[in-house]
Chain A
């Protein structure tokens, strides 16, 4: 699809001195959409970096309340991590199935992704309810405010991701693998994998560095 133009074609010009320019033409809509969504994800990561910065600044400000080591259960976090990691894998399987236009495998992989994501959310909500029930809610100390903001914001993203995932399953049923649906699936996969990347930072910085021996 590339168009080659030659500048300065005049009689008597040395052909070795001609400037040849390659025009690739505009990128396809799939590339433009994917790139735009990538920019959004990076800005989302920048927003999370602000929450990480405030958490790491406030981690010692416990106002004589409990610190990270007393509050967090590593076993719970390990299960959450594995659930999210497996869901990232099945999400990858779903995007392969979408490229192959295999609706059956796509629905199975997306359903497994949704179940794993929901399992992650259940564990996280249970942890939050447990903390609040013990009186260690977000108003207890600056450390806990920062913790609930950071981890809660990630949890909100996962909830929104699950809603988006269910929407994509319904849209594939209703409209099939149209080009616009394929672009949405591409963006959803990017979103879901980016959430897992942010979770890597969360479990390392918040849970493991907080409870390290």
Chain B
């Protein structure tokens, strides 16, 4: 399919639907998925390796796992969902940014508040005695 016909078929106006690629060349599209798959497999393997190794400082493992997970989500977003920083993708990126803000508030906020509550809570046996 020529580039012109592709744009005609997809009603291209200088915007891209999420999941839609800029490239129309078959080889480069397949290559994009292959690169994404390779990177994702590499990051997954690293995650499983880090979780089981004794080679690194143990308290750093959860942080490393979170960083690797975020990196892999980025790989999926770019190579599979084709959410990029291109000008034709602005609306998709803005929606994603708002979604991430809410996710961060919900997860981070819950964790922060609940860990403080746990920390400040009277031990359960003392609480039981006060209720008697």
Contacts and interface: CB of A to CB of B under 8 A. Distances in A.
Interface of B: 1, 6, 10-20, 26, 29-30, 33-34, 36-37, 40-41, 44, 47-48, 50-54, 58, 61-62, 65-66, 68-69, 72-73, 76-77, 80-81, 91-92, 95-96, 98-99, 102-103, 106-107, 109-111, 114
Interface stretch (A23-31, A129-137, A164-172): A23-31
Contacts of A93: 30, 33
Chain A interface SS verdict (over half): helix
Contact of A53 (B54, B72, B111): B111
Contact of A85 (B10, B37, B51): B37
5 contacts: A38-B95, A96-B30, A186-B20, A193-B76, A212-B51
A201 interface: yes
Contact of B17 (A30, A46, A82): A30
A103 to B, nearest CB: 15
Contacts of A57: 110-111, 114
Contacts of A46: 99, 102-103, 106
Contacts of A39: 95
Given A35-B92, A49-B103, A56-B110, A211 B19 contact: no
Given A49-B102, A93-B33, A28 B11 contact: yes
B11 A30 contact: yes
Interface in A58-88: 74, 78, 81-82, 85-86, 88
A86 B38 CA distance: 10
Contact of A92 (B12, B17, B80): B80
B73 A201 contact: yes
A196 interface: yes
B107 A208 contact: no
Contacts of B73: 197, 200-201
B19 to A, nearest CB: 5
Nearest to B102: A46
A208 B65 contact: yes
Contact of B44 (A24, A25, A52, A81): A81
A208 B62 CA distance: 9
A88 B41 CA distance: 12
